[in-house]
A and B are shown apart, each in its own frame.
Chain A
């Protein structure tokens, strides 16, 4: 056996390139420990350990980020779950009240044991004050329970549980306002129907079972009703039975839709419908059962009894399922953004971009000193490539340094750009069908404002007035009116905070602005120049971007420490913080309604977030790195379903 250090020592020696080579050679001939050999071995091992340690640490940091992200997600899910459970309870209660009222009206008796009972989730004693015409005595409760057990067993055998989950997820989907694919909904409901129907056909004398199965079928039908808004025709039990027999063939879509349209519309009153639309399978079952005519009233009550028992189970036991359904459905049915257009014509990093308010037109600003205008309707289709190439329509040349930021007016008439040399240019936006090789029109450049003495890193445009804010490395934030003769209105500086890094108008309070300094965010009043709120924070990372919510008193900040943070403008309290990316978050954009947030990061990815739930809805890897920079800007189209990202690789991409 050879001492491993020989090999190692030899390699290290030659790599080091010092005079240790001979030592290694000597050892080869004489397999002995030697000082240089051992030293090399130790050195080598040490270097290897260091390297491994570094990679472990890297991995650890990544995993920690992942954990934090997942924890945030879990919290959101839990909130949603609690909300749903609470609403289920509320509806249960309302339903019971309603049923009691109905009962009272119909039979003049007061179902005292039911009325006013708080909505708890325990199985309540079955209603006994059923219709006078009903031939079922009180004692039938026991046999009914037995029947229920049997039925359950049976249903389980035929895969009822799977069906119920399908139906339930369908419900959650409609609850979330996501469009359920019709085909699937039909199949699910069809499946549950045919499966539930079979026992009825085979064992017709088990009345309770039949009624439960009927009730469930009713529910499934009403779910279809709710989904498709076919509110016509009456309930025809016989027809339905026939149908159900036919429905043994699950794939028979035509029959299903026929059945669907026949539905039970008149029984499903507005309230029931609401319940159906909003709530869980069992809640819905209960409702539809309760609203039956007297023929159904008894079994309806029974179904109700069952459902309460099961509801308790479901709400407690299946929380996890439910949450999973929510996530899965969201994954499956949400709009997914796909990269469609690649805008290539810049020679260097694209720093900023802005969409036209109505046209499918955008303008990009780059470190190659130019701005370019693109019309997404004028594409050159690249062969065998799904994405389309767009050629620029117009190149704005005036800046003599990298263009750092860009905003477009809400009328789409003007665009403002600022560059590293401190100049801010106001441009007229050329016609979006301009000939790219038209003759030069110097009037495109409206004016140049060069009061800033250093690089301008941020611009923000007032949504109504033509006021412009800029923040610069010269330590000032300036307010401009680009249309007036002397455009500079005011200058703000805060020597204690240093250089402002980002700025935005507060949208719900337009006389305020939010300014980010290295690790502070402050809201100022533009008229009094007074500080309104300073966001409370200890040790937050440098702020790269600040955006204010279009309607809420909410500000979102992007940080170098990979976080996105949400702040309440009135109190200055942090509402939420999340690790959003694997590297510094550089850019943010809120959609015009403030429901979705877009973030770009130097980790090369763009993420879409739900502002309310703070969940990440989609991640897109979009650009390649140049040095350690990857994505500089992201944007939403103000009125069309486009989003865009600007990359350090000189490309801009538009997603649809």
Chain B
């Protein structure tokens, strides 16, 4: 990592690179990343170093614009959630999970369609991830990866809320699979810390237990913030069985 070495290090995966050697190059200090993708590079580099060190992963470099930092992290979450979706494909079938549910209180409707629809859980998962990929890459809402429009910031929260349901569904209905995935990726734990740190979701919505240091157990009543009025990708909910809906974002 010293100055003199940087000149000769070429950070590249050449053809023939072994799987274990992939991206195994010396880390690059953030100040020296002159690419427009520096934040992504930095986040991935930190995750590669130790995926379980969530504090380090979520600590932005000094001088880093917070909005871009949140945006890039969310991209990374959606990308890694593919891993969970792949696992779910082999276990979560429309026959067994014909609705997207976590606890028994809510049925989530898939908003990828013209009129929100009760998709089976696996479709909900795929559609949500596809929708998030489109939204986060949309030239309309996120034309740049170095500065984020004020008006697009609201989208981050709604993406978070939607993709979190994938975690919760996996936790409550495919526990073994979820534990497997979590053990290697620490993704849900990281996601929970992330949304808490940046207030992207209400604490009451974080229903997967023991994900946060000092986390509460499964909350007695699940609450849901009002859906943001986006035209394309809103997930609505069916009437709650118990409890009442509260706005509880800090």
Q: Point out the residue from A368, A439, A458 that lies within 8 Å of B123, measured CB to CB.
A: A439
User: Do A440 and B14 have beta carbons less than 8 Å apart?
Assistant: no
User: Do A502 and B15 have beta carbons less than 8 Å apart?
Assistant: yes
Contact mask for chain B residues 10-39; partner A; CB cutoff 8 A; 1 contact, 0 none: 111111111100100100100000011100
Q: How far is the CA of A542 from the CA of B13 in the complex (A)?
A: 13
Contact mask for chain A residues 388-417; partner B; CB cutoff 8 A; 1 contact, 0 none: 010110010111111000000000000000
User: Do A473 and B35 have beta carbons less than 8 Å apart?
Assistant: no
Contact mask for chain A residues 454-474; partner B; CB cutoff 8 A; 1 contact, 0 none: 110110000000000000010
User: Do B12 and A401 have beta carbons less than 8 Å apart?
Assistant: no
Q: How far is the CA of A437 from the CA of B112 in the complex (A)?
A: 7
- In the assembled complex, B209 has its CB within 8 A of some CB on chain A: no
Q: Point out the residue from A370, A397, A437, A458 that lies within 8 Å of B113, measured CB to CB.
A: A437
8 Å CB interface, A402-440 against B: 402, 420-422, 436-437, 439-440
> In the assembled complex, how far is the CB of residue A420 from the closest CB belonging to chain B, in whole angstroms?
5
The chain A residue sitting closest to B11, CB to CB, is A627
Report which residue of A392, A626, A648 has the largest number of chain B beta carbons within 10 angstroms of its beta carbon: A626
The chain A residue sitting closest to B45, CB to CB, is A627
B76 contacts across to A, CB distance below 8 A: 347
User: Do A455 and B130 have beta carbons less than 8 Å apart?
Assistant: no
8 Å CB interface, A542-556 against B: 542, 544-545
Known: A439-B119, A627-B28. A345 touches B83 (CB 8 A): no
Known: A395-B130, A400-B83. A455 touches B22 (CB 8 A): yes
> In the assembled complex, how far is the CB of residue A136 from the closest CB belonging to chain B, in whole angstroms?
76
- In the assembled complex, A221 has its CB within 8 A of some CB on chain B: no
- In the assembled complex, B218 has its CB within 8 A of some CB on chain A: no
User: Do B14 and A501 have beta carbons less than 8 Å apart?
Assistant: yes
User: Do B12 and A629 have beta carbons less than 8 Å apart?
Assistant: yes
Q: Point out the residue from B35, B127, B133, B139 that lies within 8 Å of A347, measured CB to CB.
A: B133
Known: A345-B134, A395-B130. A626 touches B82 (CB 8 A): no
Q: Point out the residue from B37, B120, B131 that lies within 8 Å of A649, measured CB to CB.
A: B37
Q: Point out the residue from B28, B89, B123 that lies within 8 Å of A397, measured CB to CB.
A: B89
The chain B residue sitting closest to A545, CB to CB, is B15
Known: A368-B82, A392-B134, A400-B86. A385 touches B35 (CB 8 A): no
User: Do B126 and A395 have beta carbons less than 8 Å apart?
Assistant: yes
Contact mask for chain B residues 101-140; partner A; CB cutoff 8 A; 1 contact, 0 none: 0000000001011000001101100110111011011111
Chain B: interface residue count, which band?
A: 35 or more
User: Do B139 and A627 have beta carbons less than 8 Å apart?
Assistant: no
Q: Point out the residue from A402, A440, A544, A602 that lies within 8 Å of B22, measured CB to CB.
A: A402
- In the assembled complex, B215 has its CB within 8 A of some CB on chain A: no
8 Å CB interface, A581-636 against B: 584, 602, 624-629
Known: A370-B82, A389-B139, A627-B12. A440 touches B126 (CB 8 A): yes
Known: A368-B82, A397-B82, A627-B12. A344 touches B137 (CB 8 A): yes
Q: How far is the CA of A395 from the CA of B28 in the complex (A)?
A: 32
User: Do A542 and B133 have beta carbons less than 8 Å apart?
Assistant: no
User: Do A420 and B19 have beta carbons less than 8 Å apart?
Assistant: yes
User: Do B89 and A627 have beta carbons less than 8 Å apart?
Assistant: no
The chain B residue sitting closest to A347, CB to CB, is B79
Q: Point out the residue from B12, B40, B139 that lies within 8 Å of A385, measured CB to CB.
A: B139
- In the assembled complex, A442 has its CB within 8 A of some CB on chain B: yes
Q: How far is the CA of A410 from the CA of B33 in the complex (A)?
A: 42
Report which residue of A422, A437, A629 has the largest number of chain B beta carbons within 10 angstroms of its beta carbon: A437
> In the assembled complex, how far is the CB of residue A335 from the closest CB belonging to chain B, in whole angstroms?
27
- In the assembled complex, A13 has its CB within 8 A of some CB on chain B: no
Report which residue of B35, B86, B131, B140 has the largest number of chain A beta carbons within 10 angstroms of its beta carbon: B35
> In the assembled complex, how far is the CB of residue B232 from the closest CB belonging to chain A, in whole angstroms?
11
User: Do B130 and A437 have beta carbons less than 8 Å apart?
Assistant: yes
- In the assembled complex, B78 has its CB within 8 A of some CB on chain A: yes
- In the assembled complex, A166 has its CB within 8 A of some CB on chain B: no
User: Do B86 and A368 have beta carbons less than 8 Å apart?
Assistant: no
8 Å CB interface, A457-502 against B: 457-458, 473, 498-502
User: Do B137 and A602 have beta carbons less than 8 Å apart?
Assistant: no
Q: How far is the CA of A370 from the CA of B26 in the complex (A)?
A: 27
User: Do B40 and A626 have beta carbons less than 8 Å apart?
Assistant: yes
Q: How far is the CA of A397 from the CA of B140 in the complex (A)?
A: 26
User: Do A457 and B12 have beta carbons less than 8 Å apart?
Assistant: no
> In the assembled complex, how far is the CB of residue B140 from the closest CB belonging to chain A, in whole angstroms?
7
> In the assembled complex, how far is the CB of residue A514 from the closest CB belonging to chain B, in whole angstroms?
14
Known: A397-B85, A436-B130. A628 touches B11 (CB 8 A): yes
Chain A: interface residue count, which band?
A: 35 or more
Known: A347-B78, A629-B13. A455 touches B28 (CB 8 A): no
User: Do B86 and A397 have beta carbons less than 8 Å apart?
Assistant: yes
Q: How far is the CA of A461 from the CA of B121 in the complex (A)?
A: 36
User: Do B18 and A473 have beta carbons less than 8 Å apart?
Assistant: yes
A392 contacts across to B, CB distance below 8 A: 130, 133-134
- In the assembled complex, B94 has its CB within 8 A of some CB on chain A: yes
User: Do B35 and A437 have beta carbons less than 8 Å apart?
Assistant: no
A369 contacts across to B, CB distance below 8 A: 79, 82-83, 86
User: Do A624 and B86 have beta carbons less than 8 Å apart?
Assistant: no
User: Do B18 and A440 have beta carbons less than 8 Å apart?
Assistant: no
Q: How far is the CA of A628 from the CA of B10 in the complex (A)?
A: 6
- In the assembled complex, A219 has its CB within 8 A of some CB on chain B: no
Q: How far is the CA of A560 from the CA of B16 in the complex (A)?
A: 13
A342 contacts across to B, CB distance below 8 A: 139
Report which residue of A382, A395, A458, A584 has the largest number of chain B beta carbons within 10 angstroms of its beta carbon: A395
- In the assembled complex, B75 has its CB within 8 A of some CB on chain A: yes
User: Do A518 and B16 have beta carbons less than 8 Å apart?
Assistant: yes
The chain B residue sitting closest to A544, CB to CB, is B15
Known: A370-B82, A437-B130. A625 touches B35 (CB 8 A): yes
User: Do A624 and B19 have beta carbons less than 8 Å apart?
Assistant: no
- In the assembled complex, A8 has its CB within 8 A of some CB on chain B: no
8 Å CB interface, B57-85 against A: 75-76, 78-79, 82-83, 85
Report which residue of A370, A382, A392, A648 has the largest number of chain B beta carbons within 10 angstroms of its beta carbon: A370
The chain B residue sitting closest to A546, CB to CB, is B15
- In the assembled complex, B41 has its CB within 8 A of some CB on chain A: yes
User: Do B89 and A398 have beta carbons less than 8 Å apart?
Assistant: yes
Known: A345-B134, A420-B22, A649-B37. A457 touches B112 (CB 8 A): no
User: Do B35 and A626 have beta carbons less than 8 Å apart?
Assistant: yes
The chain B residue sitting closest to A627, CB to CB, is B11
> In the assembled complex, how far is the CB of residue B97 from the closest CB belonging to chain A, in whole angstroms?
11
- In the assembled complex, A348 has its CB within 8 A of some CB on chain B: yes
The chain A residue sitting closest to B94, CB to CB, is A439
The chain B residue sitting closest to A421, CB to CB, is B19
Q: Point out the residue from B12, B89, B138, B140 that lies within 8 Å of A628, measured CB to CB.
A: B12
User: Do B16 and A499 have beta carbons less than 8 Å apart?
Assistant: yes
8 Å CB interface, A336-391 against B: 342, 344-348, 368-370, 382, 385, 389, 391
> In the assembled complex, how far is the CB of residue A61 from the closest CB belonging to chain B, in whole angstroms?
13
A624 contacts across to B, CB distance below 8 A: 35-37
User: Do B12 and A501 have beta carbons less than 8 Å apart?
Assistant: no
Q: How far is the CA of A627 from the CA of B13 in the complex (A)?
A: 10
B134 contacts across to A, CB distance below 8 A: 345, 391-392
The chain A residue sitting closest to B127, CB to CB, is A437
Q: How far is the CA of A401 from the CA of B37 in the complex (A)?
A: 21
Contact mask for chain A residues 553-567; partner B; CB cutoff 8 A; 1 contact, 0 none: 000000010000000
Known: A344-B139, A385-B139, A397-B82. A544 touches B12 (CB 8 A): no
Q: How far is the CA of A344 from the CA of B85 in the complex (A)?
A: 21
B37 contacts across to A, CB distance below 8 A: 624-626, 648-649
A interface residues (Cβ-Cβ under 8 A, vs B): 54, 342, 344-348, 368-370, 382, 385, 389, 391-392, 395, 397-402, 420-422, 436-437, 439-440, 442, 454-455, 457-458, 473, 498-502, 518, 542, 544-545, 560, 584, 602, 624-629, 648-650
Can you give 10 contacting A-B residue pairs, CB < 8 Å?
A342-B139, A344-B139, A382-B139, A397-B86, A421-B19, A439-B119, A457-B17, A627-B25, A627-B41, A629-B11
Known: A346-B133, A392-B134, A545-B15. 6 other contacts (CB 8 A): A369-B79, A382-B140, A400-B86, A439-B120, A442-B89, A625-B35
Report, nearest first, the 5 A-B pairs whose CB atoms are least far apart. Answer: A347-B79, A627-B11, A501-B15, A344-B137, A501-B16
